[in-house]
Structure 1
Amino acid sequence: MKPPYIITGKILKLVASISEKIGEINANHLYKPNTELRKKNRIKTIQSSLEIEGNTLTEEQITALLDNKRIIAPAKDILEVHNAIKVYHDLRIFNPNKIKDLELAHSILMKDLVANAGKFRTTNVGIVKGSKVEHLAPGGAMVKGLMNDLFKYLKNDQDLILIKSCVFHYEFEFIHPFVDGNGRMGRLWQTLILMQQYPVFEYLPVESLIKANQQEYYNTLSESDKAGQSTPFIEFMLSIILQSLEQVLQSQNINLSTKDRIFLFKEKIGNRKFSRRDYLQTFKNISAPTASRDLKWAVDENILVKSGEQRLAEYRFIELKL
């Protein structure tokens, strides 16, 4: 059964804006940031997602752990970070359409933190905030069936992946399939769903914007619970995604380095021969002399082999060692 939600005018407008921003990112070759920025964004993602759940480690401390340095912090917080680092490092091994992969990711994320990591709960649970029961999750006996239905929707429904990822996120939190770790898993899985179609989401720090709007995040989850449909949450998450894409364009839309351009062009052209003109067609914001310098650098570095001279020169990539 399809989860209940309405495609509102706001949702359509947000989807159109997101699609436009993704187009800009692809046109400007910002979908795969450089190594340093990828690492920085991943640290930001891990720190924000875990801070939402009460983890105390800073970005600097997580950076130290990534660099195999010792830090002074609560053992549980350090373990949570180590587990999250492993999951995000291996993100591409998970198929977002497979329940077994979801269970595997949870087993890694929650290893030594809960007794039944990677196993759906069979007991009844409620989410309590203060003295108030914020959310009473479906009974333990219903979890497996509800999760099977949710994955069928994800695999088979014809709605846009942008919308389906938000619906999945909300329904996952509503079902609350695991004893613990549902918040971080829901956010992780939405990222995984999105990155199958849009590679930029692998390193997009959506989590940091959720953290900055944490109360609204919880409010829209609650609002959707009361409405009996995920529409308010879809609108919220799409607005967060749009903001994160706008940040990418603002912060990363800088001149790519020679090396960045050469590596990006290799992904596009493969082993086919090409001319300087072909190269310029891809990087329209650089001059012909800059293109010549790029290509000369790649030849000098034994990345390209050149045949012919001047305007008749042609290039081909040789085996590239990253």
Structure 2
Amino acid sequence: MSQYLPPLTVTPRMLALVADISEQVGALTANREVALTPQLRRGNRIRTIQASLAIENNTLSVEQVTAVLEGKRVLGLPREIQEVRNAFATYEAMSGWLPERQTDLLAAHKLLMMGLIDDAGQFRQGGVGIYRGQRLLHMAPPASRLQPLMHDLLHWLGASDWHPLISSCVFHYEFEFIHPFADGNGRMGRLWQTLILSRWRPVLAYLPVESVICAQQETYYGALAAADQAGEATPFVEFMLQALRKALAEASETDQVTDQVTDQVARLLEVLKPGVALRANELMERLELSHRHTFRANYLKPALAAGLIEMTDPAAPRSPMQQYRRTSQ
């Protein structure tokens, strides 16, 4: 019996992107062996979760997601809060799973969708179509075909000698095409691609590529549709590789910015004494700054991202009464 092979045309653009990304990953791994602190890992994971859920219409902000995970009260829909808790638990458990193992895939879905759908952790029993408004974008294969399709896909993934950058993108597309679950297929596809990549290079477990996908959502869905039309994963693989390259470039930029703004963050901490909470305009006044964008980009955001300061009211991040204080670390 011939082994299943997902249809794909390897293009020069794909190969150029793989070479680019491999180089970026090497540089990031070298830079981050010391730099990727627990706070940065957690910050990146929160951005990943917030963006992946935002693609599925969850309205919670990064600040609200952070607050939920810290056990603070957040004004939000109970379902959205449950989605955040489930997603965080699932990403935290990711390192214990093998990408090619069906039992692990089902366990991940159970954790991700627990309390959100009745058949969490089980393949769907009925047919499913993907709609945008009234328009049918994709009719998934019937439920009777799921077991053989998923068996072939996971078996191929376990045996594949393709570069993990390409095989992870192909798996993501094929998984979305099959749409094996009643709900949660989008976030599962993105999670499983991250798992595959993290097995290749552990630093990629904390790369928030979902933030790039979220910002390019229409292009993401367009690439899925183009791959459907082409009858092969090629357009989607090219899209995902450029998203990975962009996410890596942003991560590298963050590393450089973190080095450059150390002095500014140190100055911010000087004027924000332990036990004191101040509003943004009060901090700007003490720092003798008049340009709000400069203050937010070079002082406030890096300090928040590094976990050195926090909001007093994370449930209302844009409140004019919002204050900031040092974290207790």
Give the TM-score normalised by the residue count of structure 2.
Answer: 0.76
Match of 2:318 in 1: none
Shift, 1:48, TM fit: 0.4
- Aligned residue in 2 for 1:101: 104
Return the offset for 1:88: 1.3
Runs (5+) with no aligned partner, structure 2 = 263-329
CA deviations on 1:222-262 (whole Å, 9 max, x unpaired) are: 000000000000000000001111111111135599xxxxx
- Tell me which of 139, 157, 164 is aligned to 1:136: 139
Letter in 1 for 2:166: I
The alignment partner of 1:133 has SS state of strand
Distance 1:176 1:28, change over 3 A: same
Q: Conserved in 2, the CA contact under 8 Å of 1:31 and 1:199?
A: no
Q: Which of 92, 96, 112 is equivalent to 1:89?
A: 92
Aligned to 1:19: 22
Structure 1 equivalent of residue 44 of structure 2: 41
CA distance in 2, matches of 1:118, 1:29: 35
1:154 to 145, 152, 157: 157
Listed one character per residue, the Cα deviations across residues 146-170 of structure 1 (whole Å, up to 9, x for unaligned) are: 0000011101121111100000000
The aligned residue for residue 119 of structure 2 is 116
Q: Displacement of 1:83 after TM fit?
A: 0.6
Question: Which deviates more, 115-124 or 181-190?
Answer: 115-124
Task: State the aligned residue count.
Answer: 257
Per-residue deviation, 1:32: 6.2
Shift of 1:26: 2.5
Q: Which runs of 5+ in 1 are unaligned?
A: 258-322
Secondary structure of the corresponding residue to residue 127 of structure 1: strand
Give the deviation of 1:64 after TM superposition.
0.7
Contact 1:32-1:199 within 8 A present in 2 as well: no
Is it true that 1:51 corresponds to 2:57 in the alignment?
no
Post-superposition shift, 1:30? 5.0
Partners in 1 of 2:87 and 2:29 — Cα distance?
A: 28
Paired with 1:112 and 1:28, the residues of 2 have a C-alpha distance of: 40
1:217 and 2:220 matched: yes
Higher-Rg structure is 1
CA contact (8 A) 1:195 1:201 kept: yes
Matches within 5 A, 1:252-267: 252-253=255-256, 254-255=258-259
User: How many angstroms does 1:20 deviate by?
Assistant: 0.9
Match of 2:208 in 1: 205
- Counterpart residue type for residue 218 of structure 2: Q
Q: CA deviation at 1:111?
A: 0.5
Q: Distance in 2 between matches of 1:27 and 1:200?
A: 10
* TM-score normalised by the chain length of structure 1: 0.77
Q: What's the % identity of the aligned pairs?
A: 47
Q: 1:172 aligns with which of 172, 175, 178?
A: 175
The separation in 1 between residues aligned to 2:186 and 2:7, in whole angstroms, is 21
CA RMSD of aligned residues (A): 1.5
Name the counterpart of 2:198. 195
Following the alignment from structure 1 to structure 2, what is the Cα–Cα distance between the partners of residues 96 and 236? 22
Deviations 1:246-293 (A, max 9, x none): 111111135599xxxxxxxxxxxxxxxxxxxxxxxxxxxxxxxxxxxx
Distance 2:31 2:38 in 1: 17
Moved over 4 A (4+): 254-257
Equivalent of 1:229, from 227, 232, 240?
Answer: 232
